[in-house]
């Protein structure tokens, strides 16, 4: 049987195959709102009071003072006035303070985010609430339902244990939910009162680093499915997400939980882990979507600390100013654990909103040791 030969000019005239249209994004970020306690302090005004809490009388304070200078933090907000921390006494009192202040801040964050999104509490179908700095049953989300006027059939997911990565991981899981419930509206709330975990009379380097680096705050994100009414806004769309655990690194970050509460674990080797392990999974994630690091125009990075941010910049070959939004957040509010990356995301709204079509990557790292990537487009 003869196979017909197509002349070259006929082949050239054939129409190019049609590419499938780009899928409609499953999730749009309608609003982000950060709430902080009213007790605001300059970093230099906290150094000696925190030394009084953490160190024995007469102990050398050279390391304490050096850490407070080197963190890049200028101001922080605390859940309580600094003079009240010495009287907390035990984990029970600290946790009671977390419930009271955390509920107030959570309510403020969610109310602000809904207002900015032009929505009412009754519009919320799912509330995801994360914290790693306290525990409560009923959980914070349950306590907020009646206070905020959320529907009694609102779906709730309280989350504990993700630490600093939870702002990114929470947004990723909200995206997963909205893919299956495209007509819904979801709220992600993170509440972190890190100061209430500070250990008294603990002169370990990890506790001193925590006392120099962390601040208190809450943040809420309103996210809408592709079929939800009134979803227009200037926030980005979530395109895809990726989670990654690094084997053999579980001991590097977390809590040691005992009679005095949450004793922080922060290993000095974390920046080296970032340098050794962050690049390949992040580049592979971008490549799966036809992108490279150079295609990302907005980096929304959790401000884990100056050394971690330097490691991120170096391993990805980023311009020196790529993480400026994270550095500004760290300077103004300290590291607020899971709430910080959402505060950085908030800074990309309004006057600092990227041009339409800009690709963004929201990322954070936390206990596990793990990272979470959220690919976005404005």
pLDDT score of 3? 41
CA 263 – CA 289 distance, rounded (Å): 40
Which residue positions in the chain have pLDDT lower than 50? Answer: 1-23
pLDDT of residue 259: 86
Look at residue 250 in the predicted model and tell me its pLDDT. 84
DSSP 289-346: TT--GGGEEEEEE----HHHHHHHHHHHT--TTTTHHHHHHHHHH-B-THHHHHHHHH
Report pLDDT digits (tens) over 50-77.
Answer: 999 999 999 999 999 999 999 999 999 9
Residues with catalytic function: 164
pLDDT digits (tens, 9 = 90+) for 111-130: 999 999 999 999 999 999 99
Q: What pTM, to 2 d.p., does this model score? A: 0.89
Alpha-carbon gap, residue 8 to 190, rounded angstroms: 62
| CA separation for the pair 185, 12 (Å, rounded) | 49
DSSP result, 25-74: PSEEEEEEEEE--SEEEEHHHHHHHHHHHHS-TT---HHHHHHHHHT---
| Model pLDDT, residue 249 | 87
Task: Transcribe 105-135 into DSSP letters.
Answer: HHHHHHHHHHHHHT--GGG--EEEEE-SS--
Q: Work out the angle between the directed axes of helices 270-277 and 279-287 (0-180°, nearest 10).
A: 40
**DSSP symbol at 228:** S
Q: Specify the pairing of strand 359-366 against strand 296-301.
A: parallel
Rounded distance, CA 47 to CA 69, Å? 9
């Amino acid at each position: 049987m003869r196979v017909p030969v197509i002349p070259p000019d006929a082949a050239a005239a054939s129409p190019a195959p049609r590419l499938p249209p780009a899928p409609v994004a499953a999730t749009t970020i309608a609003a982000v709102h950060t709430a902080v306690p009213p007790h605001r302090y300059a970093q230099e005004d906290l150094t000696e009071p925190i030394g009084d809490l953490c160190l024995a009388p007469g102990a050398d304070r050279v390391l304490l003072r050096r850490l407070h200078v080197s963190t890049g933090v200028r101001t922080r907000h605390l859940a309580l006035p600094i003079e009240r921390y010495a009287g907390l006494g035990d984990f029970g009192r600290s946790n009671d303070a977390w419930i009271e202040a955390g509920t107030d801040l959570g309510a403020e964050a969610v109310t602000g985010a809904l207002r900015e999104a032009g929505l009412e509490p009754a519009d919320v179908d799912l509330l995801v609430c994360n914290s790693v700095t306290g525990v409560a049953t009923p959980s914070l989300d349950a306590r907020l339902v009646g206070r905020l006027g959320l529907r009694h059939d609102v779906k709730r997911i309280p989350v504990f244990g993700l630490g600093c990565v939870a702002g990114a991981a929470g947004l990723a899981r909200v995206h997963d939910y909205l893919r299956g419930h495209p007509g819904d509206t979801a709220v992600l709330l993170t509440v972190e009162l890190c100061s209430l975990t500070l250990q008294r009379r603990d002169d370990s380097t990890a506790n001193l680093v925590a006392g120099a680096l962390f601040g208190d705050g809450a943040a809420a994100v309103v996210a809408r499915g592709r079929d939800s009414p009134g979803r227009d806004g200037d926030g980005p769309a979530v395109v895809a997400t990726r989670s990654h655990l690094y084997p053999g690194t579980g001991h590097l970050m977390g809590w040691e939980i005992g009679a005095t509460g949450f004793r922080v674990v922060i290993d000095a080797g974390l920046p080296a882990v970032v340098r050794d392990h962050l690049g390949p999974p992040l580049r592979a994630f971008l490549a799966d979507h036809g992108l490279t690091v150079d295609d990302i125009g907005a980096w929304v990075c959790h401000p884990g600390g100056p050394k971690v941010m330097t490691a991120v910049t170096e391993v990805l070959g980023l311009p020196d100013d790529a993480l400026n939004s994270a550095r500004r957040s760290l300077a103004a509010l300290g590291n607020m654990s899971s709430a910080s990356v959402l505060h950085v995301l908030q800074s990309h709204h309004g006057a600092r909103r990227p041009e339409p079509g800009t690709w963004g990557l929201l990322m954070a790292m936390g206990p596990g040791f793990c990272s979470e990537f959220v690919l976005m487009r404005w």
